[in-house]
């Protein structure tokens, strides 16, 4: 990736500047040239919403640490940086949840006990290229308890040349014994202006489209990038918004039928994407009720937002946003998806005279 970046850190990362700066300080040599960085930890945990940039940041950290030329930012040109860019650096490992066939599956897979055994064997051998080996373990909230327990000792005291970087949706979804062994960085949503800038600079998105995507992204650059690369990205959003509007005007039976179809679908990625969209929608309705429509995310739907804002009570919308937030939390953990989805649908504000 070319580094014409928003931040002054020169990392291939947009936003999260405070984390980048702390990591830069961690990898900077403190003694004479060539000495080991005294502040470098052995285990880092990056938490935050889906597609907010946890993996991008962890990879950039790995690249900076492995880079041959720089002690603060990856140069992007050395052999090590090129190997990272091509995804085949011999001292970098990406460990992802696997499904029962052993295929990577970030939605429904698990980090399995045999993967932990592999990591433990792997950390004990020396790096091939440079001074470090970096293990990026993705989606630690999907770790089987045996995986997590088996790794405790490694996380506590890995060999000197090993750095572990973990990502997870939030720290509360992990065993406290894991969290306490890591330096934790809670990534917050990236500013919409930074998302728009990234889309224009790095992905050549035109200004108007970048603005819309940035507002819809709720601070998740990864989501915005994905939308503009999918051929039907924004069409899918339009279809989902139309479904939401239909549900607002639907009766109890129609809503229960929709909950049933969602529950049977078992497509978590779509489900959580839909919940994120619904959250932006109801937050926008609340903004419209407060007379702040200009700050909304769904800038292309202002008249429908205003219509719903006028027809519903402030309290009802605020309560539903709380419900959405709570149910989304449950859905990450609960086994009773159907019950959670019933509540989600039945408590949605109702506009019975709604036209579609
Ligand atoms: Zn380099």
The predicted-structure confidence for 267-303, as pLDDT tens digits, reads as follows 888 898 899 899 999 999 999 999 999 999 998 899 9
Q: What is the whole-number distance in angstroms between the Cα of residue 158 and the centre of ligand 1?
A: 25
Q: What is the whole-number distance in angstroms between the Cα of residue 47 and the centre of ligand 1?
A: 26
Sequence-ordered strand ranges (E) for the chain: 43-47, 92-95, 133-137, 162-168, 183-186
Q: What is the whole-number distance in angstroms between the Cα of residue 247 and the centre of ligand 1?
A: 52
Is residue 38 one of the residues assigned to a domain? yes
Q: What is the whole-number distance in angstroms between the Cα of residue 83 and the centre of ligand 1?
A: 9
Q: 3-class DSSP state for residue 184? A: strand
For the chain, what's the residue count?
356
Q: What is the whole-number distance in angstroms between the Cα of residue 145 and the centre of ligand 1?
A: 37
28 pLDDT tier (thresholds 50, 70, 90): confident
- Which structural domain range is residue 29 located in? 17-186
DSSP per-residue letters across 144-162: -HHHHHHHHHHHHS--TTE
Q: What is the whole-number distance in angstroms between the Cα of residue 257 and the centre of ligand 1?
A: 54
- Tally helices (H) and strands (E) across the chain: 15, 5
Q: What is the whole-number distance in angstroms between the Cα of residue 177 and the centre of ligand 1?
A: 34
Domain boundary among 186, 210, 244: 186
Domain match, 180 and 77 both? yes
Domain boundary among 209, 229, 249: 229
76 pLDDT tier (thresholds 50, 70, 90): very high
Domain match, 120 and 174 both? yes
Q: What is the CATH number of the domain that holds 143?
A: 3.40.50.300
290/42 Cα distance (integer angstroms): 47
Is residue 221 one of the residues assigned to a domain? yes
Domain boundary among 174, 209, 229: 229
Whether the per-residue pLDDT at 170 is higher than 50: the answer is: yes
Domain match, 182 and 310 both? no
Q: What is the whole-number distance in angstroms between the Cα of residue 135 and the centre of ligand 1?
A: 18
| Other C-beta atoms lying within 10 Å of the C-beta of residue 290 | 11
Residue 72: the pLDDT is: 82
86 pLDDT tier (thresholds 50, 70, 90): very high
Q: What is the whole-number distance in angstroms between the Cα of residue 74 and the centre of ligand 1?
A: 5
342/206 Cα distance (integer angstroms): 40
Structure tokens of 158? 């890995």
Domain match, 260 and 111 both? no
Q: What is the whole-number distance in angstroms between the Cα of residue 14 and the centre of ligand 1?
A: 19
Q: What is the pLDDT of residues 132-169, one digit of tens each?
A: 999 999 999 999 999 999 999 999 999 999 999 999 99
Is residue 1 one of the residues assigned to a domain? no
Residue 353: the pLDDT is: 56
What percent of the chain has pLDDT above 90? 76
- Which value, to the nearest 10 degrees, does the dihedral of the CA atoms of residues 67, 71, 76, 82 take? 0
Is residue 352 one of the residues assigned to a domain? no
Domain match, 155 and 172 both? yes
18/26 Cα distance (integer angstroms): 13
Q: What is the whole-number distance in angstroms between the Cα of residue 279 and the centre of ligand 1?
A: 40
Residue 231: the pLDDT is: 78
Domain match, 203 and 133 both? no
H helix runs in 136-250, sequence order? 145-156, 176-179, 192-203, 207-216, 221-229, 233-248
Question: In total, how many domains does the chain have?
Answer: 3
Residue 35: the pLDDT is: 63
71 pLDDT tier (thresholds 50, 70, 90): confident
Domain match, 63 and 168 both? yes
Within 13 Å, how many C-alpha atoms sit on residue 238's CB side? 6
| 242 vs 130: which has the higher pLDDT | 242
| 18 vs 71: which has the higher pLDDT | 18
Is residue 356 one of the residues assigned to a domain? no
Q: What's the rounded mean pLDDT across residues 22-33?
A: 81
CA diameter of the chain: 74
Residue 3: the pLDDT is: 38
Is residue 135 one of the residues assigned to a domain? yes
Whether the per-residue pLDDT at 67 is higher than 90: the answer is: yes
Domain match, 244 and 224 both? no
Sequence-ordered strand ranges (E) for 17-132: 43-47, 92-95
Is residue 32 one of the residues assigned to a domain? yes
Residue 31: the pLDDT is: 63
Domain match, 256 and 197 both? no
Q: What is the whole-number distance in angstroms between the Cα of residue 10 and the centre of ligand 1?
A: 12
Q: What is the pLDDT of residues 204-240, one digit of tens each?
A: 999 988 999 999 898 999 999 998 888 787 888 899 9
Torsion sign (Cα): 110, 112, 115, 116: positive
Residue 240: the pLDDT is: 94
Q: What is the whole-number distance in angstroms between the Cα of residue 63 and the centre of ligand 1?
A: 7
Question: Counting Cβ atoms within 10 Å, is residue 307 exposed (0-12), middle (13-18) or buried (19+)?
Answer: middle
Is residue 3 one of the residues assigned to a domain? no
| 336 vs 240: which has the higher pLDDT | 240
Domain match, 122 and 24 both? yes
Mean pLDDT of the residues in the chain: 91
Domain match, 31 and 172 both? yes
Q: What is the whole-number distance in angstroms between the Cα of residue 297 and the centre of ligand 1?
A: 38
Domain match, 59 and 124 both? yes
94 pLDDT tier (thresholds 50, 70, 90): very high
Q: What is the whole-number distance in angstroms between the Cα of residue 221 and the centre of ligand 1?
A: 24
Measuring CA to CA, which residue among 66, 83, 180, 164 is closest to residue 122? Answer: 164
Q: What's the rounded mean pLDDT across residues 321-334?
A: 89
Q: What's the rounded mean pLDDT across residues 102-117?
A: 94
Q: What is the CATH number of the domain that holds 245?
A: 1.20.272.10
């Amino acid at each position: 990736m070319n580094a014409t970046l928003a931040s002054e850190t020169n990392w291939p990362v947009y936003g999260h500047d405070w984390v980048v700066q702390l990591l830069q300080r961690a990898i900077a040599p403190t003694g004479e040239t060539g000495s080991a960085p005294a502040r470098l930890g052995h285990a880092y945990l990056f938490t935050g919403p889906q597609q907010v940039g946890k993996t991008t940041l962890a990879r950039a950290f790995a690249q900076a640490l492995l880079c041959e030329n720089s002690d603060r930012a990856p140069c992007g040109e050395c052999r090590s940086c090129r190997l990272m860019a091509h995804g085949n650096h011999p001292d970098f490992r990406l460990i992802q949840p696997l499904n029962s066939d052993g295929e990577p599956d970030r939605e429904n897979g698990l980090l399995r006990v045999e993967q932990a055994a592999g990591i433990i064997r792997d950390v004990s051998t020396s790096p091939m290229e440079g001074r470090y080996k970096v293990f990026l373990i993705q989606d630690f909230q999907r770790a089987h308890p045996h995986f997590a327990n088996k790794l405790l000792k490694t996380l506590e005291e890995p060999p000197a040349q090993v750095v572990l970087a973990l990502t997870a949706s939030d720290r509360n979804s992990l065993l406290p014994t894991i969290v306490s062994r890591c330096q934790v960085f809670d990534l917050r949503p990236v500013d919409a202006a930074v998302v728009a800038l990234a889309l224009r600079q790095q992905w050549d998105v035109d200004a108007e489209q970048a603005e819309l995507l940035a507002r819809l992204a709720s601070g998740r650059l990864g989501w915005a990038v994905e939308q503009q690369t999918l051929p039907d990205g924004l069409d899918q959003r339009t279809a989902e918004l139309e479904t939401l509007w239909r549900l607002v005007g639907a009766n109890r039976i129609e809503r229960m039928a929709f909950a049933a179809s969602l529950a049977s679908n078992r497509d978590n990625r779509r489900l959580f994407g839909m919940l994120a969209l619904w959250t932006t929608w109801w937050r926008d309705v609340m903004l419209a009720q407060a007379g702040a429509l200009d700050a909304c995310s769904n800038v292309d739907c202002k008249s429908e937002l205003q219509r719903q804002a006028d027809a519903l009570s402030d309290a009802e919308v605020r309560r539903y946003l709380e419900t959405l937030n709570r149910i989304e939390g449950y859905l990450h953990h609960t086994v009773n998806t159907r019950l959670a989805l019933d509540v989600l649908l039945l408590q949605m504000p109702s506009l019975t005279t709604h036209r579609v």
